[in-house]
Structure 1
Amino acid sequence: MRARDLALAVAVAAIWGINFVVIDIGLDHFPPLLFSALRFGLAAFPAVLLVGRPQVPWRWVAAVALTLGVTKFSLLFAGMAGGMPAGLSSLVLQSQAVFTMLFAVLFLRERPRAVQIAGLALAAAGVLLVATRMGAALPAFLLVIGAAVAWGLANVATRQAAPPDSLRFMVWVSALSTGPLLVLSLIVDGPAADLAALRAINVEAVLALLYIALISTLAGFAGWGFLLRRYGAATVAPFSMLVPFFGMASAAVFLGERVHTVDVIGGTLVVGGVLLGLVRTRPAVLANVAP
């Protein structure tokens, strides 16, 4: 990999890691469902008017919108709003690799190799280790695990869709996610809470929205898609394991989150297990890595 492209891969991982800190800041200003709806709405429009059709059957766009855009991010944002630390969320969410493999076995009839099973068992052990210190935050932790489950389903749907242009695909996924998220926000949070959040919007809230919609979603997917097309997922996908590093480091610096010894050990098991499971894994599963 060229030095310039290597720098791009690390930069995208940093963008996605820092994204968890920005999400934490945004949740101080918006209810979780409204924040997610605004994120996808801003990522979709006006980009959806410029990128053309998604180049895959609409059923797959809808499937990924439901599992990734609506379910995964609703659960992730709710978990973080419920007390799950930003840095730890960036780590626990990597358990999506475990669920991706399980769903690939169930729905795609794939047969994982022994090294993949060992790697995913190692990652699962890391997640369970982190869970032992959650205490009162366990419900929030389980919401983030639920987000990882939804992400695993979205990965399998993305593999079936096989979009030739990941950025264009994500723009349309964002567009189809926005409406259901707005409806859910009105039902769950209520119009009064949503209107109050919009009326109280300030510069910090706007910057958080711009970051997660334009930088993390659009710019991140554009850079990642470019690298995947040039080098392939086997080369590019391991860089996604830098996301928890940047997530936990930035949360410690900007939010003052403590890094516990259990988290370090559990994180090492998760990252090591996922990397082991990536060995000779088919490319399509690895393309969908953004937080």
Structure 2
Amino acid sequence: MKPADAALAVLTSVIWGIAFVATRIALDSFSPPQLTALRFLIACLPVLFLPRPRISWRQLILIGLTLFAGQFLLMFFAFDNGLPPGVASVTQQMQAFFTVGLAAAFLGEMPTLRQGVGMAMAFAGLILIGSTVDGELRALGLVLAMGAALSWAIGNILVKRVGDVSMVALVAWLSLVPPIPALAVAAVYDPHPFLISQLLAASWMSLVAALYLGAISTILAYAIWGHLLARYQAATVAPFALLTPCVGVAGSALVFGEVSGPVRYAGMLLVFGGLAVIILPAGLKIVALGKR
């Protein structure tokens, strides 16, 4: 990979890591479904000048519901139920393991022994993280984050069937889907379900954080990532995403004072190690579109 492209890959991972901190800030003013809707209302703006990719509406809706709506609704609810941003940034990377399992079950892409070892390491890490559940880290938040990772993985499998399309256009058009179910959930879940009223009452920090999530973490980051995936093999690009949890944990510690004890750090290291074992071998084909 050229140095300039490597720098872009690092930049994208940093953007996604910061997104976990931005999410926590934005949730001070918006409920999880409201933030989901707002993020993708911002991210879908490019559809005004980008043609729809050559995929069916059925594919568009199914991918939008899994890759974006399901993933972010569940993750934002996980934040709302006490999941610290640093832990969330690690747990979210479980999508890689779910993707491997789903690809084996539905696409016949059986994992190698090395990939199986990596998955075992990661699950051991999650067990360690789960053992630290207490008043600070609620079990429900961890379960919701795992559900978000599974939804992301399902979206990855669906994206693998799409074929060669413009990544930027696909992301923009997929972003049309999440606001609809998100606002429907808000109507039931929120005591003040109207997004406009929350926008008017939101703090400037929450508004900046929401804009960051929609414009930077979604539109800009996906555009860069799609460019890199078009030029290089996924096995070359995907390992850079391992930087995302590192940035998430560091950012959460700096901004929120999130403290992780030795057991939780050991669990995170096992997850990182498992990810490295799975993603680093040449030939692995994991769709990286859904990354933050």
Equivalent residues in 2 for 1:258-269, closer than 5 Å: 258-269=259-270
Shift of residue 195, structure 1, vs aligned partner? 5.6
Equivalent residues in 2 for 1:240-255, closer than 5 Å: 240-255=241-256
C-alpha change, 1:64 and 1:7, in structure 2 (3 Å) is same
Listed as ranges, the gaps of 5+ residues in structure 1 are none
Distance across 2 between alignment mates of 1:281 and 1:56: 27
| Equivalent residue number for residue 240 of structure 2 | 239
TM-score normalised to the size of structure 2? 0.94
Equivalent residues in 2 for 1:59-138, closer than 5 Å: 59-136=58-135, 137-138=138-139
Shift of residue 282, structure 1, vs aligned partner? 4.1
C-alpha change, 1:55 and 1:193, in structure 2 (3 Å) is closer
Given that 2:186 and 2:193 are in contact with CA atoms closer than 8 Å, whether structure 1 keeps it comes out as no
What amino acid sits opposite 2:269 in the alignment? T
TM-score normalised to the size of structure 1? 0.94
Per-residue deviation, residues 48-94 of structure 1 (Å, max 9, x unmatched): 11111122233222111111221111110000011000111000111
Distance across 2 between alignment mates of 1:38 and 1:219: 16
The alignment partner of 1:102 has SS state of: helix
Shift of residue 38, structure 1, vs aligned partner? 0.6
Shift of residue 201, structure 1, vs aligned partner? 1.9
The alignment partner of 1:133 has SS state of: coil
The alignment partner of 2:176 has SS state of: helix
**1:280 aligned onto 2:282:** yes
| Equivalent residue number for residue 22 of structure 1 | 22
Distance across 2 between alignment mates of 1:175 and 1:225: 19
Instruction: Using the TM superposition, name which of 17-26 and 249-258 deviates more.
Output: 249-258
Distance across 2 between alignment mates of 1:257 and 1:20: 13
| Equivalent residue number for residue 43 of structure 1 | 43
**1:257 aligned onto 2:265:** no
What amino acid sits opposite 2:64 in the alignment? A
What amino acid sits opposite 1:51 in the alignment? L
Given that 1:21 and 1:86 are in contact with CA atoms closer than 8 Å, whether structure 2 keeps it comes out as yes
Distance across 1 between alignment mates of 2:115 and 2:209: 37
Distance across 1 between alignment mates of 2:237 and 2:171: 18
What amino acid sits opposite 1:11 in the alignment? L
Per-residue deviation, residues 237-281 of structure 1 (Å, max 9, x unmatched): 100010000000111111111132222211111111112112234
What amino acid sits opposite 2:163 in the alignment? A
In angstroms, what is the RMSD of aligned CA positions?
Answer: 1.6
| Equivalent residue number for residue 5 of structure 1 | 5
Given that 2:68 and 2:152 are in contact with CA atoms closer than 8 Å, whether structure 1 keeps it comes out as no
Shift of residue 98, structure 1, vs aligned partner? 1.7
Distance across 2 between alignment mates of 1:280 and 1:62: 32
Given that 2:40 and 2:178 are in contact with CA atoms closer than 8 Å, whether structure 1 keeps it comes out as yes
| Equivalent residue number for residue 216 of structure 1 | 217
| Equivalent residue number for residue 149 of structure 1 | 150
The alignment partner of 1:154 has SS state of: helix
Shift of residue 183, structure 1, vs aligned partner? 1.5
What amino acid sits opposite 1:57 in the alignment? S
Equivalences, count: 289
* Greater helix share, structure number: 1
